[in-house]
Homo-oligomer: A and B are copies of this chain.
Amino acid sequence: MATSGGRVNRGPAAASDNRRAILRAARRVMAERGYRVPLSTIAREAGVGQGVLYRHFPTRLDLAFAVFEENVTELEVIAADPDPAAIGRLWRCLVDQAISSTAFVEMVVDARRTLPARDFADRLLGLVEATLNPARRAGVVPQEVVADDVLLALRMTLGVVVTAAAPEAVRPAVDRALALLDPPWARPGTGLSR
């Protein structure tokens, strides 16, 4: 009755493949249809049963966090670079991630209502701080710039992203917004020039 039709049971070996497939599907489907897509859709797209999705990610938030965890990993690689100009590359990466992440904002809004706060912001803050320090010491960014400013600028960017009228309008709007804001860590000499 259990394995009547469809997929075969590939056994435990499938576990990590499945996890990856679920993350990939979640990233894609959430980007397309929003944070609140039915979990069953994600499971179907990932080619796994609903139980598997549930085993790997007990709640929608767990899944979303895991998706964005991958983003953080990408940032960590950049932040590990002691180059003072790394802050520029980190910023560019943050903006790029923001542009592809309407779902992220929906998640944050949802998390605020359902969770006793997670440490995402703190981790991000740590990454930015680590990257900002060498830049400040090298004089690439003014002394008074703090990590909170960077995150604030990122949040401003997210606002532009989620309120864009159409996908193709996102990038130009973000560019214009950042031109208005003109954050010091995004000026020449901060890794963006290369």
Q: Which positions in A face B, CB cutoff 8 Å? A: 1, 4, 12-13, 33-34, 102, 105-106, 108-109, 112-113, 117, 121, 148-149, 152-153, 155-166, 173, 176-177, 180-181, 183
18 A-B pairs besides A108-B163, A148-B176, A155-B160 with CB distance below 8 A are A33-B113, A34-B109, A105-B109, A105-B162, A106-B109, A112-B164, A149-B176, A152-B173, A152-B176, A155-B177, A156-B157, A156-B177, A156-B181, A157-B159, A158-B159, A159-B160, A180-B181, A181-B181
Q: A148–B163 Cα gap in the complex (Å)?
A: 13
Contact of A165 among B106, B117, B157 (CB under 8 A): B117
Binding site secondary structure of chain A: helix
Known: A12-B4, A159-B155, A160-B159. A149 touches B180 (CB 8 A): yes
